[in-house]
Structure 1
Amino acid sequence: MKKPTQNSPFALSSLKEYASMLAIWIGLIILFSLLSDRFFSAATFSSLANQIPALTLVAAGMTLVIITAGIDLSVGSILGLAGSVFGISLLGWGLPLPLAVILALVAGSLAGWVNGWISVSWRVPSFIVTLGMLEIARGLSYLATDSQTMYLNGALGSLSRPIAGIGIPVTFIVAIIIVILLQFILSRTVFGRRLIAIGTNEQAVTLAGIRTQGPRVAVFAIAGFLAAIGGLFYTSRLGSADPNAGVGLELSAIAAVVIGGTSLMGGRGSVINTFFGVLIIATLESGLAQLGASEPVKRVITGAVIVGAASLDAWRNQLQGGALGFLKKLVQR
């Protein structure tokens, strides 16, 4: 059997990272199971499987963007826009279900592409561009729905119903498949390696004669597309198109990415670890809720976990930078 390469998702270093994230998640499950008799149950895990698909997809797209040293603050609003486009297409315009789904996906992808194109072509920081798109997409959601929730009468509802015998919905299975696919692309394709190279040192990639504009725009378009799928999953779970859907979701996505070990400086990351980050956040919130923690307390604890993960990443970057600096000086001597 062929030995996995360093870029393989099954390389020894990658497996160690997955094992570490899995251990943290299992540790949380054990902790909350000891603190609450109701936590370790089929109902809890079924609820988690139903809640996390949308966030999983948004966080997966965010991972690709952050790996290239960018940021996307608009994914929550794009999720809401996709759901609103789906609702108005289905109920307002009377379009068939498949066409309504296509329009929602196009709306999300287009919004993401605009983010990338403006950021790359006009050299505007992605933070500013996506902050503007956050407001634009949310405003379009309100305009499309007249600021009203649109009830969909069961459209796409079957996607979020637990499958008989296994207790998890189709949306969860689709999210897992997409996570695995994106991890394969990131670790085993030329496109994925270019994303990592761009995040590590874009100038060096450019000097090597490799165009960076296309991949950088592509990751924003992919993030928009995944946010749109998340919007459809969201409307499926709630049974309605809510123009307020996804408010603040970009922060949860960034939190999952950071907890998963993706560097905010770019050049390093894993979609699978981001999925574990989503699991950790969802388990933490569910466990605290079952313990009766108030919303402010949950926010404080979740925020502390995020700050701790970000601090660990910064400390790791400093150690690596120090080691590299030492080696450079040694070579120069």
Structure 2
Amino acid sequence: MQSEMKIDMPAQHKKMSLKAIVRDAGIGIALLVLILIFSITTEHFLAPNNITNILTQITINLILAVGLTFVILIAGIDLSVGSVLAFACVVAGKVITIEGLDANTAIFLAVIASLLAGTLCGLLNGLISAYWGLPSFIITLGMLNIARGGALHISEAQTIYSFPEQFNDFGSASLFGIPVVFLVALLLVGIAGFVLHKTVFGRMIYGIGNNEEAVRLAGHPVFWYKVMAYTICGLMAGIAGIVYMARLNISSPIAGIGFELNAIAAVIIGGTSLMGGRGSVYGTLLGAFIIGVLANGLILLGLNDFMRQMITGVVIIVAVVLDHYREKMTTGS
């Protein structure tokens, strides 16, 4: 049975990859149309400073969405990423402001602390959800409150600031006019793409989303693959927490409120199926761009916060409806 799985999975994976390329091309066209519309209707949309702003603004959402792509591919969900970002951010903020540490040591320890905090939250999400077979919606909703409460408790509901200059400089640094934080996000997209499309682990993630029982019968440790998907998601939230600190030069216990919704929207708009098994992290990249370009363009058009929220909500609903029809076309039902 296991040898059959080894033969069938790559063929199925290649077929899904071809569909993903076609799907991503359609999403790319939608993004180009959006850019064209705002280029015509606004005066400064294509200005270099505005392009830099868009790249900077989508960075955190993109990093969170990369992690969520793994979870949604196994037909799960993680509502806690925004709160986990805040928790990791506050933990790192406490570490980086410890008196007596030199700047480089403080930065290094803060980064490690943020990564560990995010990874631990993701690991707990995965272990609890996978071991008891409980809905990830409920488990991660609980973690949303735990992480947010933890952030408020550790920080005593106070914003942490006064970070080393080297750390603050990282958040505003650019390379050839491209924000360094965005380049970090692109690197994560590339790594995630390699893992999902070129490794056994990636094939199993797709396999679990398509037919979890078949993967289990083939002798693969489904439990640990699912745990790892949530752990990766938590790790991405930890990285996003560091980027948040570096960009804004603060560590806030109320950071990340609502971030999970935008990140999930980026994944779904990018073509990853809520039913699992179909999608691409490169589509997620395009989805994050669509959300970022839409938000920026609507601001340049002078729309208020309420209208922007309404329009973004409509786009998300349309994306979910399209996902529903894609699912029906794929299954033939």
Instruction: Please give the alpha-carbon distance, in whole angstroms, between the structure 2 residues aligned to 1:106 and 1:68.
Output: 23
Partner of 1:167: 177
Question: Are the aligned partners of 2:271 and 2:283 in contact in 1 as well (CA < 8 Å)?
Answer: yes
Residue type of the alignment partner of 2:197 = S
Post-superposition offset of 1:20:
2.0
TM-score, structure 2 as length reference: 0.91
Post-superposition offset of 1:13:
3.9
Would you tell me which structure has more helix in proportion to its own residues?
2
TM-score, structure 1 as length reference: 0.91
Question: Are the aligned partners of 2:208 and 2:222 in contact in 1 as well (CA < 8 Å)?
Answer: yes
Equivalent in 244, 247, 265 of residue 237 of structure 1: 247
Residue type of the alignment partner of 1:113 = L
Q: Given the alignment of the two structures, is residue 45 of structure 1 paired with residue 51 of structure 2, yes or no?
A: yes
Partner of 1:209: 219
Post-superposition offset of 1:155:
5.3
Partner of 2:42: 36
Residue type of the alignment partner of 1:295 = D
**Contiguous gaps of at least 5 residues in structure 2:** 1-9
Deviations 1:35-87 (A, max 9, x none): 11111110111001111221111001001000001110000001111110011
Residues 80-229 of structure 1: pairs in structure 2 closer than 5 A: 80-92=86-98, 95=101, 96-153=106-163, 154=165, 156-163=167-174, 166-229=176-239
Post-superposition offset of 1:19:
2.5
Question: Are the aligned partners of 1:9 and 1:184 in contact in 2 as well (CA < 8 Å)?
Answer: no
Partner of 2:321: 311
Question: Are the aligned partners of 1:159 and 1:169 in contact in 2 as well (CA < 8 Å)?
Answer: no
Identity of aligned residues (%): 43
Cα-Cα RMSD: 1.9
Question: Are the aligned partners of 2:65 and 2:266 in contact in 1 as well (CA < 8 Å)?
Answer: yes
Aligned to 2:113, what secondary structure does the other structure show? helix
Q: Given the alignment of the two structures, is residue 300 of structure 1 paired with residue 310 of structure 2, yes or no?
A: yes
Question: Are the aligned partners of 2:24 and 2:271 in contact in 1 as well (CA < 8 Å)?
Answer: no
Q: Given the alignment of the two structures, is residue 56 of structure 1 paired with residue 62 of structure 2, yes or no?
A: yes
**Contiguous gaps of at least 5 residues in structure 1:** 324-333
Partner of 1:327: none
Instruction: Please give the alpha-carbon distance, in whole angstroms, between the structure 1 residues aligned to 2:316 and 2:143.
Output: 25
Partner of 2:7: none
Residue type of the alignment partner of 2:167 = L
Post-superposition offset of 1:171:
1.1
Instruction: Please give the alpha-carbon distance, in whole angstroms, between the structure 2 residues aligned to 1:10 and 1:94.
Output: 54
Aligned to 2:332, what secondary structure does the other structure show? helix
Partner of 1:331: none
